């Protein structure tokens, strides 16, 4: 983990398209993270998250039968989602300007807020805010709420390991719910989090698989995490963390199969039939780590500036 000060301020933000941002200059932001320096911390985090998928647990599931094995396989995308959330929170601590909130983030989504979002263009409600105590039966719980104190920009973040199974209508509904929930964020931060002030609230879906990217529409690939956290190398570090997670699961799965199959498989004495079974099981393990459904998770006071609501933007891009 490293923090690299820089006296230079970037003269301009990366060039922007709706599907990809241009590569960031090495010193675009004042703080940096080195994935190699984070290796031991990442390995510890992966070990904690994958403790429920140890070699013994996987071998036991194989012995117990298909129902137990199905439960194990369903747990993999859930655990990867938790890993992504914890990884982003960990890396964000490198930037001392950021306040990262992950607990007790149930944001009310009132009918009035939904009507504002669904029946109006963003610029028409961008400077509105609602009372966080307004209540209501519906709510939205973001994975992360990150506030940059100097810029007073808050990001409401939903982390998805894959959007491949999401229909367009489902993504649109999620974004509407996020925008409606964002209307209460300035009031929530000020009242419940030590008078924190947000003048701009931006929503973003971080898609780890990086498909279906829509920069202007608030869907960003994991590789562009640098621009959300203003930390050079944040996206590359999270990519490394995912690789460690997959390597750990694959290693545990291989060892579990060896324990389950006995010494013939471990010594390679099973002949051609054993090799074929090994290849088949390996394909199964990789498929288990592929795209899967991600379940959705369950007025400013004290200052004169009205908050603004909208999708995430690149710092310094000049877009509003």
**φ, ψ for residue 292 (rounded to 5)?**
-150, 165
Q: How confident is the model over 104-132, as pLDDT tens digits? A: 889 999 888 999 899 988 888 888 888 88
More confident residue, 87 or 20: 87
Cα(176)–Cα(119) distance, rounded to whole angstroms? 11
DSSP calls for 123-182: HHHTT----TT---S-EE--SEEEEETTTTEEEEEEEES--TT--HHHHHHHHHHHHHHH
CB atoms within 10 A of CB 123: 11
Indicate the Cα dihedral angle 237, 250, 79, 39, nearest 10°: -30
| Confidence band for 103, pLDDT divided at 50, 70 and 90 | confident
Token reading at 228:
């959300």
Strand partners, 204: 157
Alpha-carbon distance 202 to 19, whole Å?
18
Sequence-distant (6+) residues with CB within 8 A of 280 are none
Alpha carbon distance 241, 85 (integer Å) = 11
Let me know how long the chain is: 320
The 3-state DSSP class for residue 101 equals strand
* 124-135 burial: b if 16+ Cβ within 10 Å, else e: ebbeebbebeee
Q: What is the rounded radius of gyration, in angstroms, for the C-alpha atoms of the chain?
A: 22
Q: Is the pTM of this model over 0.85?
A: no
The three-point CA angle 18-22-27 to 5° equals 135
Whether 185 has a pLDDT exceeding 70, the answer reads yes
Highest mean pLDDT among 122-136, 226-240, 276-290: 226-240
């Amino acid at each position: 983990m490293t923090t690299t000060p820089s006296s230079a301020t970037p003269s301009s933000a990366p060039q922007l398209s709706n599907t990809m941002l241009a590569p960031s200059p090495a010193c675009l932001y004042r703080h940096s993270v080195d994935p190699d320096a984070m290796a031991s911390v990442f390995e510890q985090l992966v070990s904690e998250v994958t403790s429920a998928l140890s070699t013994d647990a996987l071998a036991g599931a194989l012995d117990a039968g298909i129902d137990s094995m199905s439960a194990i396989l369903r747990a993999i995308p859930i655990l990867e989602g938790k890993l992504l959330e914890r990884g982003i929170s960990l890396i964000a601590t490198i930037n001392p300007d950021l306040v990262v909130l992950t607990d007790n983030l149930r944001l009310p989504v009132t009918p009035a807020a939904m009507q504002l979002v669904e029946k109006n263009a963003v610029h028409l409600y961008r400077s509105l805010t609602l009372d966080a105590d307004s209540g209501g039966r519906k709510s939205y719980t973001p994975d992360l709420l990150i506030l940059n104190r100097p810029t007073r920009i808050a990001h409401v973040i939903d982390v998805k390991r894959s959007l491949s199974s999401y229909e367009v209508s489902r993504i649109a509904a999620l974004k509407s719910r996020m925008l409606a929930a964002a209307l209460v964020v300035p009031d929530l931060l000020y009242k419940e989090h030590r008078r924190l002030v947000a003048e701009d609230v931006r929503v973003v879906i971080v898609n780890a698989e990086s498909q279906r990217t829509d920069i202007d529409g608030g869907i960003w690939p994991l590789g562009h995490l640098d621009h959300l956290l203003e930390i050079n190398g944040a996206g590359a570090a999270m990519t490394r963390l995912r690789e460690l997670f997959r390597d750990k699961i694959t290693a545990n799965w291989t060892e579990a199969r060896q324990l389950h199959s006995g010494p013939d498989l471990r010594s390679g004495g099973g002949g051609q039939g054993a090799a074929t079974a090994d290849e088949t099981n390996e394909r199964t393990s990789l498929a288990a780590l592929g795209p899967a459904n991600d379940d959705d998770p369950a007025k400013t006071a004290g200052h004169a500036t009205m908050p603004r609501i909208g999708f995430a933007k690149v710092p310094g891009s000049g877009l509003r």
